[in-house]
């Protein structure tokens, strides 16, 4: 989030954890996110999203429910240590539930049979190389990209490519040069940070 210049604040009940994150340049406060007043002080009512990443599913469930009550429009991503908690978190109001256990198991199996693919995915999500970035770009109303085809958007440059378009919750994987960009599309791009920034500024 820091690399993507998304404003955020961390909260943890452990002062040592907070101090450690502050030393790394992260905005962090000491507090118990299970308490409504802590979430309110953090600006939960105006926040665009919240990540509930505590190691205890019961706490994540409570925070998810509280956040959804305090801000019905907020995007909630929650951690589920126990796979059996996933459905409960969705019922509590989570938009996305991540189970580190399930993801790790799947990735370990894939690393055995498709090691190069796993290596590429790891690079896309963890690399600091400015030439390898994966980004989602939302085509908002009034964008200059509306009505353009992919060839016009990309031109002759080789620093950025579109790997998918998300349209009406459907994935368009086989993106062709004559594919027209529509309002409301989400473009999934791979490219250098400079080109991705230029695209955002030009739209």
In tens, the pLDDT along 54-68 reads: 999 999 999 999 999
Chain mean position to CA 161? 20
Residue with the bigger pLDDT between 22 and 191: it is 22
pLDDT in tens, 134-179: 888 899 999 999 999 999 888 877 778 898 999 998 999 888 899 9
Q: Which domains, ranges and CATH numbers included, belong to the chain?
A: 32-102 (3.40.50.720), 129-202 (3.30.70.1450)
> What's the burial of 191, exposed, middle or buried (CB within 10 Å: 0-12/13-18/19+)?
buried
Task: Give me Rg for the CA atoms of the chain.
Answer: 20
This prediction has a pTM of 0.73
């Amino acid at each position: 989030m820091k690399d993507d210049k998304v404003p955020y604040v961390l909260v943890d009940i452990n002062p040592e954890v907070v101090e450690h994150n502050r030393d790394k340049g992260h905005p962090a406060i000491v507090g118990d996110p299970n308490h409504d007043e802590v979430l309110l002080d953090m600006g939960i009512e105006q926040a665009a999203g919240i990540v509930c990443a505590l190691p205890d599913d019961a706490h994540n469930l409570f925070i998810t429910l509280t956040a959804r009550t305090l801000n019905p429009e907020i995007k909630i991503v929650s951690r589920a240590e126990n796979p059996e908690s996933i459905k409960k978190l969705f019922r509590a109001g989570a938009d996305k539930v991540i189970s580190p256990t399930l993801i790790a198991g799947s990735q370990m199996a894939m690393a055995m049979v498709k090691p190069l693919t796993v290596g590429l995915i790891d690079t896309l999500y963890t690399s600091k190389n400015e030439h390898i970035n994966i980004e989602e770009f939302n085509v908002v109303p009034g964008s200059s990209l509306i009505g353009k085809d992919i060839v016009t958007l990309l031109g002759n440059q080789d620093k950025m490519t579109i790997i998918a378009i998300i349209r009406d919750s459907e994935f368009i994987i086989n993106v062709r040069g004559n594919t027209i960009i529509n309002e409301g599309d989400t473009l999934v791009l791979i490219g250098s940070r400079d080109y991705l920034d230029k695209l955002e500024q030009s739209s």
